[in-house]
Structure 1
C-alpha cells in the first residue's frame, strides 16, 4: 500500500509536492488557510435540502430524491465517500424512479467546498454512470473548481489521518 493512498493515482509531481507539505508540517496550515470554515449542514434534513437545491439548479430532470442521509458506515478505505442509488419501478403505465444519496459522515466536519464536491460527484452519477469525460464535464459544469477541490479534499483526508 502506498504512503499517499488517496492521491496514489495522481502524478509523481503532485505526490512529491504533497509529501513535501506533509513532511514540513505545512499541509494543515495550507488547508486551514484555504478552507477556514466548516459547513453548517449537520442533519440529514439539512443535507436533503442542500442536495435538492443543487439538483434543482443543475439537474431538474433526474426526478426527486427519495432519500438523503449521512452515514458513518461509509468508509474512505473502500473508496466510498458518497453513494448514489437509482431504482426504477413500474407503477401502472408509468415508470417511477427512486433516487437516493448517502454521504460519509466524516463530511459533517468538512469545509463547505468539500461537501459540495461530493454532492456534485454523486449527482453527476445519476446522469453519467461511469467516470468518463462526460461525467467530469458535468461535475465541472456544476462546480468549476471540481478537480482542484477533489485533490485538496484528498489531501485533507491524509491530514485528518495524521
Structure 2
C-alpha cells in the first residue's frame, strides 16, 4: 500500500516503519495500544465548551470564539483536519467579524489526544496565523508532546485510508 501525503515531510525511516506496519495490517493494533480511549465530546455544544475552556486556560487575551462545530465537509485529503475562519457580516451600519472553528467530523470517534491536538492547533491560529516556529511553540505550550500526537494523528489518517480502501474492494 502506498503511504499518502499524511506523512510527507517526515524522515524516510519513520515513513518506512509506518509502511511496514500498514503492509502487515498492524496499524490499527498500534493505534489501539498507543491511544486506547475514545472521547465523549459528541455534540457541537460540548465541543464549544471544551474549546472555550482550553482557550480560557491558555489564550485569555486572544479574540473570542463565536462558533465551534464538527464539520462533515472538511477534506482530510487536503490536510483540513480543522479550520479557523473569521466570517465578516454587515449588521446595521457596522461590519462584524465572527471567529469560527470547525473540526473534521471524523474526530468524533477518535482518541481524546487527537481531538485535543486539533483544537489546540486551531486555537493557536487565534494568536499566530502562519505555521511558523512561534506557532508550534504555542502549540507545544498548550499541549506538551504536541508533535508526537500530530504524528499519531497522521498515522490514524493513514490507517483510516487503508480501511476505506479495503472496504472498497
Greater shift, 50-59 or 24-33, is seen at 24-33
Q: Secondary structure at the match of 1:74?
A: coil
Say if 2:3 and 2:158, in contact at 8 Å, map to a contact too.
no
Cross-structure match for 2:117 = 117
Asked whether 1:65 is paired with 2:72, we answer no
Say if 2:70 and 2:104, in contact at 8 Å, map to a contact too.
yes
RMSD across aligned positions (CA): 2.0
TM-score, scaled relative to structure 2: 0.87
Asked whether 1:139 is paired with 2:139, we answer yes
Task: Indicate how the Cα distance of structure 1 residues 41 and 107 shifts in structure 2: closer, same or farther if over 3 A, else same.
Answer: same
Shift of 1:90: 9.9
Paired with 1:105 and 1:85, the residues of 2 have a C-alpha distance of 17
Gaps of at least 5 residues in structure 2 are 163-169
Name the count of aligned residue pairs: 159
Paired with 1:11 and 1:3, the residues of 2 have a C-alpha distance of 13
Cross-structure match for 2:15 = 15
Asked whether 1:149 is paired with 2:161, we answer no
Greater shift, 25-34 or 121-130, is seen at 25-34
Deviations 1:57-81 (A, max 9, x none): 0001113211111010101012111
TM-score, scaled relative to structure 1: 0.91
